Structure 1
Amino acid sequence: MVKMKLDEQIPALGAQLLDTNLPLSTRYRVLFTLKGIGGDEAVKAISAVFEDESELLKHESAYVLGQMQNMLAVDTLKAILRDQNQAPVVRHESGEALAALGRFDLVDILDEFAKDECVDVAETCEIGAKRLRHFHDPANLFTKALPSVYSSVDPTPACDDAPVDELVARMMNYELDLFDRYTALFALRNKGSDDSILAICKGFADTTSVLFRHEIAYVLGQIQSSVSAPALTVVLENAAEHPMVRHEAAEALGSVASPDVLKTLEAFKKDDKRIVAESCVVALDMYEYENSGNFQYANGVETAQTVSA
Structure 2
Amino acid sequence: MTPSATDAEGVDQTVLTLRKVLVSETEPLARRFRALFSLKYLACLQPPTENTLPAIQAIAAAFASPSALLKHELAYCLGQTRNRDSVSYLQHVVKDVEEDAMCRHEAAEALGALGYPESLDILKKLRDDANELEIVRETCDIAVDRIQWENSEERKAEKLKPSDFTSIDPAPPMPLDAKEPCIPELEKTLLDTKLPLFKRYRAMFGLRDLASPPDLATAVDAVNALAKGLKDPSALFRHEVAFVFGQLCHPASIPCLTECLGDLKEAGMVRHEAAEALGSLGDEEGVEDTLKKFLDDPEQVVRDSVIVALDMAEFEKSGQVEYALVPGGNATTEVSGP
Q: Would the TM-score normalized by the shorter structure come out above 0.5?
A: yes
**Displacement after TM superposition at 1:206 (Å):** 0.9
Query: Which amino acid in 2 is paired with 1:168?
Result: E
Say whether 1:150 aligns with 2:175: no
Q: Secondary structure at the match of 1:295?
A: coil
**Displacement after TM superposition at 1:144 (Å):** 4.1
Which of 29, 44, 55 is equivalent to 1:42? Answer: 55
Paired residue for 1:235? 260
TM-score, structure 2 normalization: 0.86
**Displacement after TM superposition at 1:145 (Å):** 3.5
Paired residue for 2:216? none
Residues 1:131 and 1:260: Cα distance change in structure 2 (over 3 Å): same
TM-score, structure 1 normalization: 0.94
How do residues 52-71 of structure 1 correspond to structure 2 at under 5 angstroms? 52-71=65-84
Paired with 1:203 and 1:164, the residues of 2 have a C-alpha distance of 14
CA contact (8 A) 1:221 1:253 kept: yes
**Displacement after TM superposition at 1:204 (Å):** 0.7
Q: State the identity as a percent.
A: 40
CA contact (8 A) 2:18 2:335 kept: no
Paired with 2:42 and 2:58, the residues of 1 have a C-alpha distance of 11
Which of 15, 33, 41 is equivalent to 2:38? Answer: 33
Paired residue for 2:92? 79
**Displacement after TM superposition at 1:75 (Å):** 1.0
Say whether 1:296 aligns with 2:322: yes
Paired with 2:249 and 2:105, the residues of 1 have a C-alpha distance of 24
**Displacement after TM superposition at 1:115 (Å):** 2.6
**Displacement after TM superposition at 1:305 (Å):** 6.6
Paired residue for 1:214? 239
Aligned residues: 302
**Displacement after TM superposition at 1:96 (Å):** 0.7
Which of 202, 207, 210 is equivalent to 1:183? Answer: 202
CA contact (8 A) 1:95 1:125 kept: yes
Say whether 1:130 aligns with 2:155: no
Paired residue for 1:163? 182
**Displacement after TM superposition at 1:300 (Å):** 5.4
Give the RMSD, CA atoms, in angstroms: 1.7
Paired with 1:25 and 1:279, the residues of 2 have a C-alpha distance of 9
Say whether 1:111 aligns with 2:124: yes
Runs of 5+ unmatched residues, structure 1: none
Paired with 2:227 and 2:240, the residues of 1 have a C-alpha distance of 11
How do residues 80-95 of structure 1 correspond to structure 2 at under 5 angstroms? 80-95=93-108
